[in-house]
Homo-oligomer: A and B are copies of this chain.
Amino acid sequence: MVISKNMETLVAGSSTIRKLFEEGLQLAKEVGAENVYDFSLGNPAAPVPEKVTQSIKDILAEKPDSYIHGYMKNAGFDEVRQNVAASLNKKFGMSYGPEDVIMTVGAAGAMNCIFRALLGYEDEVIAFAPYFGEYRSYVANYGGNLVVVPAKMDDFDLNLDALDELINEKTRCIIVNNPNNPSGRIFPEETLKKLAEIIEKAEKRVGHPIYVLADEPYRELVYDNDVVPYIPSIIKNSIYIYSFSKTLSLPGERIGYMALSKNMDCYDEMINAMAVANRCIGYINAPSLFQLVVSRCLDVDVDLEFYDKNRRLLYDKLTELGFNVVKPQGAFYLLVQSPFEDEAEFVALAKKHHIILVSTKTFGCPGYVRIAYCVDYEMIKRSLQAFEALAKDCGL
């Protein structure tokens, strides 16, 4: 083995989801793409808004190439940070300046900057199950450990009762992913206020700030007129993290940002460290053309119906077939309880029907499978007969 021990673990447990995605591509070659129902990946199928393509063309026509594709400050273009700050201020009643915004290589890039800056060897980051499995890699990159709060299985809200005893001197951050991948749950204001109280008490106990990372790439993807509370207006020591991947259907472009409020503890030290981290972990800066593009697309409306009709169709059909389904409020994922004790069995059986599902073991919450319904509606319609056959095989 030439690779490091730490990396060995990551390679061995390498993203189950990505593996399933690649297996799905293989299966498609064998039985035809139209006969495979791949619900594995959060690859948004909603069309890229016309405004994105138009913005690319406009920017190429309006700005000098050397500006569009050149270096800027590590934190991003001033004009882009200004627009992002103004948009957040308008939407959430905040008072960010451009200096509070750092453009990043997606939300994953933002989290890596934060962990790079905050984590010493064996420092801890807390996540609530079910959680996005890659958090574990991001924390491990810098020698830290991810500590998982067990899921609250009755309603998939944040399990606050189990949180407090997990916070100690090594705790640096707590991740809150709202709306949640994979449960589709929106954590309500009441829960977040309680979380704020617990953290404030804990900070006094451990003697340093504990930052809440509000990881919100799915913020606009909410249904039934539900609302996602804005964490930085509830929790003082929080960092807002956003990605344009999901709402603008640009996951390949790697563009997002983080915003820090000036009233947080150690603001100066933190904002400075974030810009340096952006550079020194090798991003240098967020991709330049797409900084300029998203800056013009901050007010683009998401076509919610695109995903909502998928959500309704799957939820209704699977419930009707006798599956136990967690009704999602946001994002584009849906949890189905495994009819078997070991959900690996359920995943394998589904695959026989050409349905690609992801076990929630990888999200720290076994017993369920995740369906990513960010796919084409027609594929879902075609998949229904396969789900019917699957239900029968499950004895439902």
**Interface residue ranges, A against B (CB under 8 Å):** 1-7, 10-11, 14-15, 18, 22, 41, 43-45, 47-48, 52-53, 56-57, 60, 65-66, 68-74, 105-106, 108-109, 111-112, 116-121, 123, 134, 137-138, 140-143, 172, 208-209, 249-254, 265-266, 269-270, 272-273, 276-277, 279-290
Contacts and interface: CB of A to CB of B under 8 A. Distances in A.
A76 to B, nearest CB: 10
A229 to B, nearest CB: 25
A43, A116, A118, A250: residue with the most chain B Cβ atoms closer than 10 Å = A116
Chain multiplicity (copies): 2
A143 B122 CA distance: 12
A108 B143 contact: no
Nearest to A140: B280
Closest CB pairs A-B (n = 5): A252-B288, A137-B280, A112-B282, A48-B65, A108-B282
Contacts of A1: 266, 269
A109 B283 contact: yes
A18, A53, A108, A254: residue with the most chain B Cβ atoms closer than 10 Å = A254
Nearest to A41: B71
B279 A18 contact: yes
A280 B141 contact: yes
Nearest to A211: B2
A53 B71 contact: no
Contacts of A44: 70
Given A120-B4, A141-B116, A254 B41 contact: no
B2 A118 contact: yes
A47 B65 contact: yes
Given A111-B282, A265-B2, A284-B106, A117 B45 contact: no
Contacts of A3: 117-118, 269-270, 273
B116 A7 contact: yes
A67 to B, nearest CB: 9
A33 to B, nearest CB: 14
